[in-house]
Amino acid sequence: MKTIVVKFGGSSLASAAQFRKVGDILRADPARRFLVVSAPGKRDSGDTKVTDMLYRCYDLAVAGEDFVPALEAIRARYGEIAEGLGIKFDLDGALAPIAEHLRKGPQRDYMASRGEYLNARLMAAWLGWTFLDSAEYIRFHADGTLDPDTTYKLLGAAMAQTEKAVIPGFYGADETGRVVTFSRGGSDVSGAIAARAVKADLYENWTDVSGMLFTDPRIVPNPSYIPFINYRELRELSYMGASVLHEDAVFPARRAGIPINIRNTNRPEDPGTLIAAQAPAGTVIPPVTGIAGRKGFDTVLVEKSMMNSEVGFTARLLDIFAAHGVPFEHCPTGIDTMSVVVSADAFRPHREEILAALEADLKPDLLKVEEGLAMIAVVGCGMVANKGIAARILGAVTAAGVNIRMIDQGSSELNIIIGVREEDYETAIRGLYKEFH
Ligand code: ADP
Ligand code: ASP
Ligand code: MG
């Protein structure tokens, strides 16, 4: 029989009514045997996610302030869900160790993880499914990174022995049992890990939109959905800010060749976006699959005549950034020029030392920093087969009245990155959407 791992995000689990939709979706296909849950999210735009309420409790406890009202508000969120579902759930019993933990020098990741923990227990009680605590099966190294070998062994064995289980997302634990979380939105990663551990046929990621959008809905109203996207394209888009799926959720699924289907809990009839290595037969591949971007970059321009004949010049240049712990994002080069695009947050604290080192080591003719750039990735594996896409991209941005500061075409021909001034970012995205849509 087929096995599907399903993950529901916070907004899909924010209330009893949302839990019921989840129940309907699970019942509609018996292959949906493993359910990974987030903490309850926002019920409406003015609401607060339970994870944020837990961080607040932690902050209050650490500051020595009264956390009881904040914890009560969390109890109320779960109480409302349990009551709405009409189930008996021992909330007092489940919350008592959390209150106790807050009194005795709390640990931040542990506190954050309780949102998923409580939600999974509540869901398991309602569905009558087994509860598998991720702290026992998802293992982190002491440095906070995932230990995949141990995780797949432990989690795979537990899932193989279970017919139907609810698994809390977002966290695991290290060897000593100390809880460790992924970064925000990390339940997507837990879901992908569970899918790989059980060698699932499909990983369904249920959220509040009907799939991956062609571009950011905050910039372009009602952009269309992407019916199919391959793992590599998705990686490029999510790295650049298309935030429907946590960027680290792609690796486990891709490694195991498990397709991901992004679906809408509120519109289960919509097919959503399918993510896999190869498009199903008959799929029309467009020249551009999607557009994403981010603000917050600086560029360091280094000019030196005959730079290309100086052996090791590029390596020395990038070493200086690396020595200060600043990764570079892009590095377009000319014959006598090189630009290093860096995240402003990473670069600015080390700016003066890096510039001084570049000056001293490389003796450039010119060294210039341009601040406040946005990078836009135009992504699509169909670019290779379609002539003139680069020209259309540049034409569309220029026609929108935006000056292009940088162009970088990745050697994979999967994407073209363009740099524009931050204030031109939205205009450029709108221009591109119009051209490719
Ligand atoms: P969940 O709580 O279900 O994990 P998220 O809030 O993490 O949901 O992700 C879904 C949201 O991502 C959508 O509501 C949408 O506003 C936002 N989003 C940003 N970029 C995109 C995109 N390119 N496609 C779809 N959704 C996007
Ligand atoms: N609850 C966590 C967060 O809000 C993890 C998740 O929802 O994926 O970031
Ligand atoms: Mg999410």
Per-residue pLDDT of the chain (437 residues; tens, 9 = 90+): 899 999 999 999 999 999 999 999 999 999 999 999 999 999 999 999 999 999 999 999 999 999 999 999 999 999 999 999 999 999 999 999 999 999 998 999 999 999 999 999 999 999 999 999 999 999 999 999 999 999 999 999 999 999 999 999 999 999 999 999 999 999 999 999 999 999 999 999 999 999 999 999 999 999 999 999 999 999 889 888 887 899 899 999 999 999 999 999 999 999 999 999 999 898 888 999 999 999 999 999 999 998 878 888 999 999 999 999 999 999 988 889 999 999 999 999 999 999 999 999 999 999 999 999 999 999 999 888 888 899 999 999 999 999 999 998 876 779 999 999 999 999 999 999 999 98
- Residue entry with tokens 């579902």: 85
Query: Taking the complete model, does pTM exceed 0.75, yes or no?
Result: yes
Domain assignments of the chain as residue spans, ordered by start? 4-275, 290-436
Residue 223 Cβ contacting ligand 1 at under 6 Å: no
Superfamily of domain 290-436: VC0802-like (3.30.2130.10)
Closest by alpha carbon to 9, among 246, 250, 252, 256? 246
Residue 49 alpha carbon, nearest atom of ligand 2: 4
For residue 399, how far is its CA from the centre of ligand 1 (angstroms)?
29
Same fold, 4-275 and 290-436: no
**Ligand 3 centroid – CA 53 distance (Å):** 17
Give the residue whose CA is nearest to atom 2 of ligand 2.
185
Q: What's the angle, vertex CA 353, arms to CA 352 and CA 356, rounded to 5?
A: 85
Of 42, 229, 243, the one to substitute when testing ligand 1's pocket (max ligand atoms within 8 A of C-beta) is 243
The H or E element containing residue 96 is helix 91-103
Separation CA 49–CA 107 (nearest Å): 19
DSSP 282: T
Region 4-275: CATH code: 3.40.1160.10
Helices 91-103 & 50-62, crossing angle to 10 degrees?
A: 40
Instruction: Check if the beta carbon of residue 165 is closer than 8 Å to that of residue 125.
Output: no
Strand order from edge to edge, sheet including 415-421: 328-330, 337-343, 290-303, 366-379, 415-421, 404-409
Query: Other C-beta atoms within 10 Å of 355: how many?
Result: 15
CB-ligand 1 contact for 217 (6 Å cutoff): yes
Q: Among all ligands shown, which has an atom nearest to the Cα of 50?
A: 2
In this structure, the residue with its CA closest to atom 22 of ligand 1 is: 213
CA neighbor of 341 nearest in space, from 386, 402, 295: 295
> Are 39 and 66 a contacting pair, CB within 8 Å?
no
Nearest to 200 by CA among 152, 272, 150, 136: 152
What residues are in contact with ligand 2 under a 6 Å CB criterion? 9-10, 38-39, 49, 51, 115, 169-170, 184-188
Pairing label, strands 165-168, 130-131: parallel
Q: How far apart are CA 335 and CA 7, in angstroms?
A: 49
